[in-house]
Structure formats: C-alpha cells, structure tokens
Amino acid sequence: MNKKIIMIAVQVLVLVAAVGGTWFFMHEPAPEPVAVGADGKPAAAEMDQKKEPEYYSLSPSFVVNLQNERGIRFLMIEIDLMTRKDDVFSKVEQYEPRIRNDLLMLFSKLDREAIATAEQRQTLQNEALATINGVLKAESGKPGVEAVYFTKFVVQ
C-alpha cells in the first residue's frame, strides 16, 4: 500500500510539472507598463533620452571699454550659446541685433574689479544668459538658450 501511495504521488507531481511547464512556455508575458505623459498619451522612448546639445557662436567678438579712472581698458568676449531645443537658433539669428545690443549694454557697464574673480565672471555669464533669454521671451514668447559659454575673455 505504501508503494501505491508513492506511485500516485509521483504521477501527480509529473502531471503538475507537465501542466506547469506547458503553461510557462506557452504563456505570453504581460506587456511592459507604458509611461503616460501629462496629455494622457504614451511618452515616447526618445523623450527619456536627452537631445544632443547644439551650439551657436555670436560673432564677431564683443569689445567694450571698461569703466576705469586710470586709463582706457578693453574687454573682449567671444560667446557661444547652447541649447537642446529645436528652432531656438533660428530665433537667435532673427533677433541677433537686439541680443547683441543688450549684451553690449550689459558689458559696457563693467569695470575691471567687477570681473576680477571666477565667481564674478560666472555671475556675468548668468546675467548674459538672462539677457539673451529675456530678448527671446519678449520677441518670440519663449526662451530656449540653456547656457552661455565665454570662449574668449580678454581684459587689456
């Protein structure tokens, strides 16, 4: 009788293993959850990845007289802009005369002591970014430049 119970148990185990194996290999896995954007539509996979940055040079260089009591001093700055958004640089080109004007006004208020340290030059960079995005927002309704880089910075 003991052998009979063991044989039945083994047959039941084999049957359960066969059913489980068949189900495991034939069953389709549940679909991956899809991220939904604020508009209720599925978010695109490329939205998760940052777009490559694009750069634009404001040329020619900016050259201004520095405010100085002891003589004439000059500041020359070359500026590159960075964005990851489409169509920003076409707006920059369209409004470049006003952007250049506003940047020249910003730079011409400086004296040598105002740009003596790295922190002061970083502050000037942030002010230049705010100036550029202010012009873009006023003219086109939206800013878009993410960073301003000084690629040349000469004081003489």
Which tokens belong to 108? 């011409």
End-to-end CA distance of the chain: 106
Residues of the chain where predicted confidence (pLDDT) is lower than 70: 23, 27-49, 69
Phi-psi category of residue 54: left, alpha or beta, with phi > 0 → left and psi -120 to 50 → alpha: beta
pLDDT at 112 (0 to 100): 86
Q: What CA–CA distances, in Å, run from 41 to 38, 117, 132, 144, 156?
A: 8, 49, 33, 25, 56
Output the pLDDT for position 41: 65
